[in-house]
Structure 1
Amino acid sequence: MKENPNLAPAYQKMLSRAEAAKNDTLSQRIDTAIETAIDLKELSRDEAENIGDYLLRDLQDAAKFIVSTEQALVDWIKFDLELIEEQLLNMFSLMVDQSKLELDNLAERAHQAMEWHAGEITGLGTLYCASCNKAIHFKKPDYIPTCPNCESTLFVRTLD
């Protein structure tokens, strides 16, 4: 997938819109943010839906981590919170809380193995190469690169 420099900032904008939406569920909030981006011609339908999928994946993964380990969001992110813009962290935290509340309704999906692939966009946190376990830290939404150590394209998060 060719990187579009407008898509990583669109992830943060979609997070902000989803957080501000008044819908009932996290999925509905993200759907509203997707439709807004399409209506405003900021993104194509495919781009908006991909970013919405990435956002939902990241929020559900953070909520799953917090529920299953009873640890804080800082432990999921795995780096110093001072490096993250306060507004982005607040939005992400609020949306993770929403996702935590919905986790019971998404139990089957939440128990599936979560995978991240090079070329996708991810939000805050640390991903680990599935081949060599190299950590890659994301302090803002950005494209997932190939592993700088072994060039693998598959990444995971760990719960430890």
Structure 2
Amino acid sequence: MNNSLIVITGFMGAGKSTVARALARRLDTQMVDLDIEILKQEKRSAKQIIEEDGEPSFREIETRVLREVLPNKVVGVIALGGGAWTISGNRDLITSAGGISVWLDAPFDLCWQRIVATGDDRPLAPNEQEGLRRYTERRAAYASADVHVEATGNKTVDEMALEIAEALAES
């Protein structure tokens, strides 16, 4: 497990970035948040890219940045954007790099509550109905992850990081 690359996936608001940071601390490794890496490289947020250039253009950028981050042997944990894992080519890239995928399975109501609480506009979930449609649509892809962790809001971030670390140690 020491040299493993772990990617955290799940719907927006599931807690991917937060859990990925806690897991990286626990495993004493580096963590990359793919959305932040895109912001650094593109000088625009995911929201801005999607609004200005459309989702297909954003997905191309996301895949390119993922391809650049994966070979970095210093990075042990990557927090994906909510849609990155739904692209089969991205899943193939991660698998080819030896990545172990972890799905943070949070109920839609919890995700939506967190999305609303941030006050950030999400162009791919502009309202609850569209958010639920995307959530439902993406679940099958998320379910293909190697490790499944329920993120119901009843566990602390550190408890989820420990659960992931223990699951990885058993595999």
Q: Which has the higher contact order (CA 8 A, sep 6+)?
A: 2
TM-score category by the smaller chain?
0.3 to 0.5
TM-score, L = length of structure 2: 0.36
TM-score, L = length of structure 1: 0.38
